[in-house]
Amino acid sequence: MTDTAPRPTLEAVAARAGVSRATVSRVVNGGDGVRDILVERVRKAVEELGYVPNQAARSLVTRRHDAIAVVVAEPETRVFADPFFALQLRGISKELTAHDNQLVLLLTEGRDDHARVGRYLAGGHVDGALVFSLHLDDPLPELIQRAGVPTVFGGRPGWSGDRHGVAYVDSDNRGGARDAVRHLVGLGRTRIAHITGALDQTSAVDRLDGYRDVMVDADRRLIAEADFTPAGGERAMRELLDRCPDVDAVFAANDLTAAGALRVLRESGRRVPDDVAVIGFDDMLPVAEQTDPPLTTVRQDIEEMGRLMARLLLRGPDQGTRREGVGGTSSSVVLPTTLVRRASA
């Protein structure tokens, strides 16, 4: 531990400025009713002494911290392994920094730690929370609700029941999935498979729904469940080749999954796109460009989603609807997606 110099007190500032303790307190807390000349003297003393007001005490009065918590509902190992989170955090960080707000990332080892995250949020340390990668049955939304901090979710939260005013930023997952599958149909493919994401997340459910919108009455064996990871994509692709050797196209729930599927297809001697066409989701760079062959995918602007989440939280609900977007409730935004064609389909 550092051997710290004593922290300058309010009293020291008052003595230096030649004013009362109450005057210093009023100036520090931005209150009115202090003459300009005294405000100036207090400010000078604060600066000279390097006085930092006790924010825990001050926040009881002002209830502002200029800090926003970010909670990724995944173990920290996944937060650092999946570039999706780094991109979303990049957008959030830029926006918060532009408004001189501190980004407070609350990392956990897993869901068992979410109660502790709830306690921190409830503890008066932040002005709001940005929460993403929620899974069904996660206690977080309940804990956050109880903590009473303003919150914006990344991705439509999946809990049941109607809660008006829940703000979120999402991509048009269902529409994007439909575009991908329609493109495969347009290429003349008939045995089009889908490798899902983690189906306890709304993004995965929405993309599956988009697939089903186009592939009405699809052979159920053409749907293989995975979890948004490359390893999951490999496993699912092996299952599909086993169950349906005549598969001629795959729509994977994200680029990492598609990358895993491509590896298994190559091992099995299938040519992409000649034998099997493959489409991903995200347009995560450099992943999507460096697969072999480069990946056709559904682009969503992940960094922009992060920026919008932060903006929505800082502005408050009234400003939420002024964004371009294809839909969303009063204080939410749903961004459009675009199909990006490369070599794999």
* Interface positions with a second copy (CB under 8 A): 1-7, 50, 52, 54-57, 59-60, 65-67, 76-77, 80, 83, 86, 89-90, 93-94, 97, 100, 102-109, 113, 116-120, 122-125, 128, 144-152, 163-167, 313, 316-317, 331
Which of 300, 297, 288 has the alpha carbon at shortest distance from 341?
297
Instruction: Tell me whether residue 2 or residue 160 sits nearer to a second copy (CB atom).
Output: 2
Q: Which is nearer to a second copy, 60 or 326 (CB)?
A: 60
123: left (phi over 0), alpha (psi -120 to 50) or beta: alpha
DSSP characters over 162-229:
--TT-EEEEE-HHHHHHHHHHHHHHTT--SEEEE---TTSHHHHHHHHHHHHHSTT--GGGEE---SS
Q: Least separation, in Å, of the C-beta of 142 and a second copy? A: 9
Between 60 and 343, CB nearer to a second copy: 60
Which one-letter amino acid corresponds to residue 240?
L
Distance between CA atoms of residues 184 and 199, nearest Å: 23
Minimum distance from residue 81 beta carbon to a second copy (Å): 8
CB nearer a second copy, residue 42 or residue 152: 152
79 vs 252, which CB is nearer to a second copy?
A: 79
CA distance 107 to 114: 10
Distance CA 24, CA 44 (A): 11
Min dist. Cβ of residue 287 to a second copy (A): 14
* DSSP labels, 6-27: PPPPHHHHHHHHTS-HHHHHHH
- State the minimum distance, in angstroms, from the CB of residue 143 to a second copy: 9
Residue 6 or 33 having the CB closest to a second copy? 6
Which among 147, 155, 148, 153 is positioned nearest to 71, based on CA atoms?
Answer: 153
* CB 218, min distance to a second copy, A: 37
| Residue 293, Cβ density class (10 Å: 0-12 exposed, 13-18 middle, ≥19 buried) | middle
Minimum CB separation of residue 173 from a second copy in Å reads 22
